[in-house]
Homo-oligomer: A and B are copies of this chain.
Amino acid sequence: MTSRPPVQEAAAAAAAAIPALAGMPPRQRAAQLLAGADAIDERADELIELASAETGIEAGRLRGEVRRSTVQLRLFADEVVSGEHLDVRIDEADEEFALGVRPDLRRMLVPLGPVLNFAASNFPFAFSVAGGDTASALAAGCPVIVKAHPGHPQLSRRTAEVFSAALTAAGAPAGTFQLVEGEREGVELLQHPLIAAAAFTGSVRGGQYLAGLAAARPTPIPFYGELGSLNPVVVTPAALDARRDEIVSGFAASVTGNAGQLCTKPGFLFVPSGSDLGPAVAAAVEAAPEHRLLYPKIAEGYADRRATILGTDGVTVQTEGGVRFDDDQEGWARPTIVSTDLDTLLRESGRLSEEAFGPLSILVEYDDGTRLAELFGTLFEGTLTAGVHVAEGADAPWVAGLVAQMTAHAGRVLFDGWPTGVAVSHAQQHGGPWPSTTTSTTTSVGTAAIQRFLRPVAFQNAPVELLPPALRDDNPWGVVQRRYPAGESRSWGTAAASAD
């Protein structure tokens, strides 16, 4: 598993697993996901120790991340058993159909084929080897090749060993799950004809490059990139009056947790002019201990972004923080908070409105909430999240307009809270308009993430013995089926006409 199989071999092994995976009953696929989850939970101590040493992330957070990954596998196992993700639709044959005879039509989603996942650096479990993209693709019934992130190679290899052995023991065919390492290997696989889809979590630059390669293949394939995000949060005057201390401490915790190396870190906090929140926020973040950054390239990139922001006209430093490099070239960060005003942000958005991947955030004072609401779409093209703190029953008339703008530019709109911390559930949405993702119509967290690796196929007038089990009337897999009876087309339009 950790022997860096040549690209051709990995792709061929993944493709060879397709027939066995396609015919597998959901309960068997689900059992494999559960076995993978159990195996990781059993080895959690060992894996967390490896992860902590390689990434500098503290053990407590890593323990939560392991739990998140294994809970995710269990949730997806249940989803697989329910068959909800197959979106089964059955049109009964209809002699009286409005457009001539309707054949028996049965539609379901089928796996796309071998999926290539580019692991992330900042979530060595939840967005890495056995993380969300892997769980999604396996739940969909696709073989998976993970391209390991070079920031945690030992952990990647060990997780792959543990996870792969558990899948195999639970009956997964050879080639169901593989790990490869190397940037060149990743690019070659992305361009390999046998690869059917790819997922990526990382920088805008990296994602844009890989998305371009996926689109330029002789046979283009879906590429799901989760890229950078600014995650603005707005505080209304009434909310600030009501909960000033709570807002200061919550914001400070959200910016400094994991040294700000989270795709949902709030990059901007908009506060009313004259609220003078800088000193309190500065004091709160200064309490955070110095934190190692993930790996030297991340630290250098962050140091550059920080220098650009601090060197921008009209930006005031509230607490300087900074990055210190040790003898191993590892960077260690202390939080940086700066402040400015809305007009400066507009003028300098070229310098300020790019993700600073580390413990830095920008306070922006605004005079006029209506203007802020109007400018929101100019300031934030696409972001994973946008938040607003409001005060019940006492809020400004512009808040509704702001929320409409946030809805148009974000994947998750949150109230009276902070964007970090993403629940794995049914209604979660982790995605958003470009450049926060390459594909705003999808999510990379939550059960809807499985859909990324499926495509629909309809079977017309198929004899029962040639129908996939999920589409049969006797429904041997017990999946959710939606049926559309003969005769229904005679009344199409009447539900709409009588709705008034």
Please determine whether A417 and B461 come into contact, CB atoms closer than 8 angstroms. yes
Confirm or deny: A67 has a beta carbon within 8 angstroms of a beta carbon on chain B: yes
Selected contact of A77 from candidates B220, B404, B496, CB within 8 Å: B496
Chain-B contact segment, one of A3-11, A24-32, A246-254, A326-334: A24-32
Given contacts A219-B381, A404-B22, contact A461 B495 (CB under 8 A): no
Please determine whether B103 and A30 come into contact, CB atoms closer than 8 angstroms. no
Chain-B contact segment, one of A310-318, A346-354, A422-430: A422-430
Please determine whether A492 and B71 come into contact, CB atoms closer than 8 angstroms. yes
The range of chain A's interface size is 35 or more
User: Please, what's the 1-or-0 string for A388-425, where 1 marks a CB less than 8 Å from any CB in chain B?
Assistant: 00101000000110011001101111111100010111
**For residue A492, which residues in chain B have a CB less than 8 angstroms away from its CB?**
71, 74-75, 77-78
Selected contact of A425 from candidates B27, B102, B400, B415, CB within 8 Å: B102
Distance, CA A81 to CA B434, complexed state (A): 30
In the assembly, how many copies of this chain are there? 2
**For residue A400, which residues in chain B have a CB less than 8 angstroms away from its CB?**
466
Please determine whether B496 and A30 come into contact, CB atoms closer than 8 angstroms. yes
Confirm or deny: A162 has a beta carbon within 8 angstroms of a beta carbon on chain B: no
**For residue A338, which residues in chain B have a CB less than 8 angstroms away from its CB?**
none
Distance, CA A381 to CA B30, complexed state (A): 30
Please determine whether B220 and A417 come into contact, CB atoms closer than 8 angstroms. no
**For residue A424, which residues in chain B have a CB less than 8 angstroms away from its CB?**
99
Confirm or deny: A192 has a beta carbon within 8 angstroms of a beta carbon on chain B: no
Please determine whether A78 and B493 come into contact, CB atoms closer than 8 angstroms. yes
Distance, CA A456 to CA B381, complexed state (A): 16
Please determine whether B413 and A457 come into contact, CB atoms closer than 8 angstroms. yes
Please determine whether A30 and B499 come into contact, CB atoms closer than 8 angstroms. yes
Please determine whether B427 and A493 come into contact, CB atoms closer than 8 angstroms. no
Confirm or deny: A441 has a beta carbon within 8 angstroms of a beta carbon on chain B: yes
**For residue A455, which residues in chain B have a CB less than 8 angstroms away from its CB?**
411, 431, 433, 440-441
Selected contact of A462 from candidates B110, B415, B452, B458, CB within 8 Å: B415
User: Please, what's the 1-or-0 string for A67-98, where 1 marks a CB less than 8 Å from any CB in chain B?
Assistant: 11001011101101110000101110000011
Confirm or deny: A105 has a beta carbon within 8 angstroms of a beta carbon on chain B: yes
Please determine whether B456 and A443 come into contact, CB atoms closer than 8 angstroms. yes
**For residue A489, which residues in chain B have a CB less than 8 angstroms away from its CB?**
71, 75, 425
Selected contact of A105 from candidates B428, B438, B494, CB within 8 Å: B428
Given contacts A412-B457, A417-B103, contact A31 B500 (CB under 8 A): yes
Most B-side CB within 10 Å, residue of A26, A105, A403 = A105
**Closest residue of chain B to A448, judged by CB?**
B456
Distance, CA A433 to CA B111, complexed state (A): 12
**For residue A102, which residues in chain B have a CB less than 8 angstroms away from its CB?**
423, 425
Please determine whether A105 and B425 come into contact, CB atoms closer than 8 angstroms. yes
Residues 109 to 145 of chain A near chain B (Cβ within 8 Å): 110, 112-113
Q: How many whole Å from A108's CB to the nearest CB in chain B?
A: 9
**For residue A466, which residues in chain B have a CB less than 8 angstroms away from its CB?**
390, 399-400, 403, 415
Confirm or deny: A19 has a beta carbon within 8 angstroms of a beta carbon on chain B: yes
Q: How many whole Å from A1's CB to the nearest CB in chain B?
A: 24
Q: How many whole Å from A176's CB to the nearest CB in chain B?
A: 17
Given contacts A414-B460, A460-B412, A462-B413, contact A427 B499 (CB under 8 A): no
**For residue A222, which residues in chain B have a CB less than 8 angstroms away from its CB?**
439, 441
Distance, CA A71 to CA B429, complexed state (A): 34
Confirm or deny: A155 has a beta carbon within 8 angstroms of a beta carbon on chain B: no
Distance, CA A18 to CA B377, complexed state (A): 14
Confirm or deny: A100 has a beta carbon within 8 angstroms of a beta carbon on chain B: yes
Confirm or deny: A463 has a beta carbon within 8 angstroms of a beta carbon on chain B: yes
